[in-house]
Structure 1
Amino acid sequence: MLDTMTITKAVGGVCGALLIYLLGSWVGDTLFSMGGGHGGEQVASYVIETDDGDAGAAEEEPMDFATLMASADASKGERVFGKCRACHKIDGSNATGPHLDGVVGRPIDAVDGFAYSGALEQVGETWTPENLFHFLESPRSAAPGTIMSFAGLNKPEDRVNLIAYLESLGG
């Protein structure tokens, strides 16, 4: 039942719809144009004044690791561990990732029965609190080639709280 007239109507409908779309786009660009000068130059319609004051004073100086660890809270770290729970266990059994009980102070790549990628050896020899702190910020940056897909913890407070929680679990 596909004759020449049916095909012609379908092609005409598609061409008409495209024409209407392009015409609507042109009208929209004309009505709501942000360009204000020649050659497509963009002109701001208004300026928002801000009081920067002393821009250098607004930047906080990063706290050193020892100060951060001194203020760590293991109970808050237990809540942060919820992000790790999908791949890691703390009962001595492996899941997608190796178990994390006793991880603080444990040699890297040392859990029996877990197949490591070998990329973690770039971090160091032992999971010290400092190594964990830097690794947890961005696992893929700290150990390029790791199979760990976790993006990391941006907040230093979350990282030290998690380390304090893992440290409280012992081994």
Structure 2
Amino acid sequence: MFDTMTMTKVVGGLCGTFLVFLLGSWAGDLIYAGGGGHGDHSQAYVIEVEGADGHDEVVEEVDFAAVMATASAADGEGVWRNCRSCHSLEPGVNSTGPSLYGIVGRPVGAADGFNYSGALVAVADVWDVDHLNGFLENPKGYAPGTAMGYNGLRKVEDRANLIAYLDSLDD
């Protein structure tokens, strides 16, 4: 039933089918792509949209001091979940990262028993609110060479709430 001639016809039929699909694809590209995909790709027509003047959206700078004035330590406790896998809130108990108890106002690199990478000392002397804000937003960008592998908190409100929470612990 399946001799060499039959197998040759089956393989030839499959190859012919694929060839028809390939040629159909090329023909469709020529018809619908407008020019076969070669050369300069220009738009055939422009649709004018009311109010679209081509300007990018302007990012408004937020005054961190104003956000910090309204920060909630209770909301910061919820943000703390991002930090607790590497840091502790118990004085002198270090984990992957140093203990954050009393961090606000503490000299940089001063947690007892923790071996710092040295990159932090170059950017600040004391962990005040502004330095914490900059570091929490983008740790690797704020202190290049830091060993902290966290990408940062993008929302300014989250950073302010977390700093308020950390500041409330050592009262």
TM, length-normalised to structure 1: 0.73
Alpha-carbon shift at residue 40 of structure 1 (Å): 4.1
Matches within 5 A, 1:29-48: 31=28, 35-37=33-35, 39-42=38-41
Q: 2: distance between equivalents of 1:23 and 1:111? A: 72
What stretches of structure 1 of length at least 5 have no aligned partner? Answer: 1-15
Post-superposition CA distance 1:5-54 (Å, at most 9, x none): xxxxxxxxxxx99xx6x997775565357632363443558867363479
Q: Which amino acid aligns with 1:37?
A: G
- Cα pair distance change 1:51/1:126, threshold 3 Å: same
Aligned residue number for residue 155 of structure 1:
155
CA distance in 2, matches of 1:113, 1:77: 26
Tell me how far apart the structure 1 counterparts of residues 50 and 147 of structure 2 sit (CA, whole Å): 45
Q: Does 1:74 align with 2:73?
A: yes
Quote the Cα distance in structure 2 between the aligned partners of 1:145 and 1:82: 24
Counterpart residue type for residue 154 of structure 1: R
Q: Distance in 2 between matches of 1:143 and 1:112?
A: 21
Cα RMSD (Å) of the superposition?
3.2
Report how many residues are paired: 153
The equivalent of 2:106 in structure 1 is: 106
- The alignment partner of 1:87 has SS state of coil
Matches within 5 A, 1:1-171: 28=25, 31=28, 35-37=33-35, 39-42=38-41, 49=49, 51-52=51-52, 59=58, 61-92=60-91, 93-170=93-170
The two structures have a TM-score, normalised by structure 2, of 0.73
Query: Identity percentage over the alignment?
Result: 44
Q: Relative to total residues, which structure has the larger helix share, 1 or 2?
A: 1
SS at match of 2:131: helix
What does residue 8 of structure 2 align with?
Answer: none
Mapped partners of 2:138, 2:129: distance in 1: 15
Structure possessing the higher radius of gyration over alpha carbons: 2
**Cα separation, 2, equivalents of 1:23 and 1:98:** 66
Q: C-alpha distance in 2, partners of 1:50/1:149? A: 45
Secondary structure of 2:68's counterpart equals helix
- Is contact 2:64–2:156 with CA below 8 Å preserved after alignment? no
Contact 1:36 1:43 in 2 (8 A): no
Q: Measure how far apart 1:124 and its partner are.
A: 0.8
Cα distance in 2 for partners of 1:99, 1:24 equals 65
- Cα 1:42–1:77 change in 2 (3 A) is same
Corresponding residue SS for 2:121: helix
